Amino acid sequence: MDIEQKLVTAVINGLKALYGQDVPAAQVQLQKTKKEFEGHLTLVVFPFLRMSRKGPEQTAQEIGEYLKANEPEVVAAFNVIKGFLNLTIASSAWIELLNGIHADARYGLTDAAPDAPLVMIEYSSPNTNKPLHLGHVRNNLLGNALAKIIAANGNRVVKTNIVNDRGIHICKSMLAWLKYGNGETPESSGKKGDHLIGDYYVAFDKHYKAEVAGLMEKGMTKEEAEAASPLMKEAREMLVKWEAGDPEVRALWKKMNDWVYAGFDETYKMMGVSFDKIYYESNTYLEGKKKVLEGLEKGIFYRKEDGSVWADLTGEGLDHKLLLRSDGTSVYMTQDIGTAEQRFADYPIDKMIYVVGNEQNYHFQVLSILLDKLGFEWGKSLVHFSYGMVELPEGKMKSREGTVVDADDLMAEMIETAKETSGELGKLDGLTQAEADDIARIVGLGALKYFILKVDARKNMTFNPKESIDFNGNTGPFIQYTYARIQSVLRKAGEAGIVLPAQLPTGIELSTKEEGLIQMLADFAAVVKQAGTDYSPSVIANYTYDLVKEYNQFYHDYSILREADEAVKVFRLVLSENVGKIVRLGMGLLGIEVPDRM
């Protein structure tokens, strides 16, 4: 039972004893005491004045005296400011609270029951014509953290990915490889498969632009030249063949996509991201067509004279939405309906969360209505976890194309920067090469992940590599370094033969700083809950930073291993161990590792 619950019970008993009244727990309002006053928690006494038939100050005084006399193990002291009763919690209550946290290896996290709600989270959604870029990094990190946070709130979670593996953009890289590739493979070139294919997508664009420029010199307008481009015409013909199931085109498509997937897998592994089930648009788009035609039969949708199929959403305050083009080909919306159909057949989904950028807000508003009309139970309540753009400061790390920053390059650069920074600060001294490399990986990726996840997902952001790796700011490395420092203290205590007890005795007097740290540790459970309710990884990131900042001040102001009083020393070691544990759990929810040494 936490301190607030104990206090609520004590106040209810007090009101019964003093004024003979039974009061529901909901009426007992406790707030954290304002910084300028003494005390931990403040009771608002105004709701009890009609029972006491006295002024606010006198009522507060009476309740305070009762609590101090009858509940000394909870309330050590009190003071009254107008109608507010500021209560100082007894040290023994704080130690009991710490004992509860200490006894629970997964404090703040809730395991899912077998019948817990099943939440499906879709994230990543790459195209198979190019490698993952900085925008995908934010998407993957948010999706992965969200999955961990929702699972920590007692839900069953399925992580899914929908791969955009069909369409004109895929045909462009296939065609360019046929024309200019000379049979090049990932093995022969030494390139990752996704980078190799990305290079051919760029090559297609270069040749296409040259063609258009050539035709414009002959007197065509830009539009005419684009329509007349032989290369684009060939790409379109290839798409038609693909849709018709042409064996040659399909074999090439499969071969090149397999190269890309092998490349993606390496990127995901380095990023620490995984999926329970991957869906492919090439399988879902036909399902979507089927579902739309079913809707047409049931009169949910309508057909225009040109044969195209539409949904009329004017009743919902939106416009008319195209679902199938006049030539029968599907649009994104159709594919999303098809994917939903497949997923619903595979899993009994209670809630569906899509992690997709905010430029798709309207798309998901429409999808929610359409799925609801088509009878999906979770259609109305689907969540579009919408996030903002991420950019780099000018002139930082441009990729081969000179426009987008490649995820692999970014991660490699972060690890390299971590190696340099840690080396300069002497943090890798005395480690083997393998240990130093692993710490550079943990710190470099921790810096990247934390910097991206500490920002409210809805906001656009600038990722600053230099700033993210600073060992002193609100950064991953600062938090990781504090964790490593705590592990070092605990190792030294172990070497000195100190064994930490399962439970601390309650007779130790605590400083305000120590009480504050225990209060912050206890808050972790509420923070995990809030992050789950608000779909907000940044809540956990910023809580963890605040906890570490508080601990560092404590570490600076108080002796731990040099403390003369044995009981106090052991208490501070247990406190430190639990700060370390909560930091590890909090960072774990963000997908960030913490090193034992640094």
Question: Residue 543 has what pLDDT?
Answer: 98
The beta strands (E) that lie in 147-301 are given as: 156-163, 277-280
φ, ψ at 547 (rounded to 5°): -60, -45
Do residues 82 and 201 share a domain?
A: no
* For residues 379-383, average pLDDT: 89
Question: Residue 1 has what pLDDT?
Answer: 59
- Residue 138 belongs to a domain: no
> Sorting pLDDT into bands at 50, 70 and 90, what band is 465?
confident
* For residues 223-242, average pLDDT: 92
Domain containing residue 367: CATH number: 3.40.50.620
Do residues 268 and 299 share a domain?
A: no
> Sorting pLDDT into bands at 50, 70 and 90, what band is 400?
very low
Do residues 437 and 543 share a domain?
A: yes
Do residues 280 and 269 share a domain?
A: no
Do residues 266 and 204 share a domain?
A: yes
Do residues 550 and 577 share a domain?
A: yes
- Residue 521 belongs to a domain: yes
* For residues 493-510, average pLDDT: 94
- Give the domain extent around 74: 3-89
The answer to whether the beta carbons of residues 469 and 436 sit under 8 Å apart is: no
Do residues 187 and 223 share a domain?
A: yes
For residue 598, give the nearest of 475, 470, 443 by alpha carbon.
443
Question: Residue 31 has what pLDDT?
Answer: 93
- Residue 137 belongs to a domain: no
φ, ψ at 460 (rounded to 5°): -70, 150
User: Domain end: 238, 259, 274, which one?
Assistant: 274
φ, ψ at 214 (rounded to 5°): -60, -45
* C-beta pairs of 90-93 under 8 Å, 24+ apart in sequence: 91/506, 91/508, 91/509, 91/510, 91/515, 92/506, 92/507, 93/3, 93/6
> Pairing relation of β-strands 30-32 and 75-81?
unpaired
Question: Residue 562 has what pLDDT?
Answer: 96
> Sorting pLDDT into bands at 50, 70 and 90, what band is 196?
very high
Do residues 225 and 285 share a domain?
A: no
Do residues 313 and 446 share a domain?
A: no
Do residues 245 and 326 share a domain?
A: no
At residue 398, does pLDDT exceed 80?
no
Question: Residue 397 has what pLDDT?
Answer: 45
Q: Is 327 helix (H, G, I), strand (E, B) or coil?
A: coil
Provide CB contacts within 8 A for 484, sequence distance 6+. Answer: 594, 595, 596, 597, 598
At residue 147, does pLDDT exceed 80?
yes
User: Domain end: 223, 247, 274, which one?
Assistant: 274
pLDDT digits (tens, 9 = 90+) for 82-116: 889 999 999 999 999 999 999 999 999 999 999 99
Please tell me the distance from the alpha carbon of residue 22 to that of residue 16, in angstroms, as a whole number: 6
> Sorting pLDDT into bands at 50, 70 and 90, what band is 586?
very high
* For residues 351-369, average pLDDT: 94
At residue 402, does pLDDT exceed 70?
no
Domain containing residue 57: CATH number: 3.30.1360.70
- Residue 130 belongs to a domain: no
Question: Residue 278 has what pLDDT?
Answer: 96
Mean pLDDT, all residues of the chain: 93
Question: Residue 394 has what pLDDT?
Answer: 67
* For residues 160-184, average pLDDT: 94
Please tell me the distance from the alpha carbon of residue 284 to that of residue 300, in angstroms, as a whole number: 21
* Domain count for the chain: 4
Q: In this predicted model, which residue has the larger pLDDT, 449 or 469?
A: 449
- Residue 128 belongs to a domain: no
Do residues 444 and 530 share a domain?
A: yes
Q: What percent of the chain is predicted at pLDDT more than 70?
A: 98
How many CB atoms within 10 Å of residue 381? 11
What single DSSP character describes residue 405?
P
At residue 480, does pLDDT exceed 70?
yes
Q: What percent of the chain is predicted at pLDDT more than 90?
A: 84
pTM listed for this prediction: 0.91
DSSP letters spanning 103-155: T-TTTT-BPPPTTSPEEEEE----BTTS--BHHHHHHHHHHHHHHHHHHHBT-
Which helix (H) or strand (E) is 220 found in, with range?
A: none
User: Domain end: 274, 309, 324, which one?
Assistant: 274
* For residues 55-80, average pLDDT: 94
Question: Residue 431 has what pLDDT?
Answer: 86
- Residue 340 belongs to a domain: yes
Q: Which amino acid is at 13?
A: N
At residue 348, does pLDDT exceed 60?
yes
Question: Residue 426 has what pLDDT?
Answer: 82
At residue 243, does pLDDT exceed 90?
no
Please tell me the distance from the alpha carbon of residue 394 to that of residue 26, in angstroms, as a whole number: 53
Domain containing residue 445: CATH number: 1.10.730.10
pLDDT digits (tens, 9 = 90+) for 290-343: 999 999 999 999 999 999 999 999 999 999 999 998 888 788 899 899 999 999
Question: Residue 399 has what pLDDT?
Answer: 42
- Residue 154 belongs to a domain: no
Do residues 308 and 422 share a domain?
A: no
* For residues 13-17, average pLDDT: 94
- Residue 136 belongs to a domain: no
> Sorting pLDDT into bands at 50, 70 and 90, what band is 35?
confident
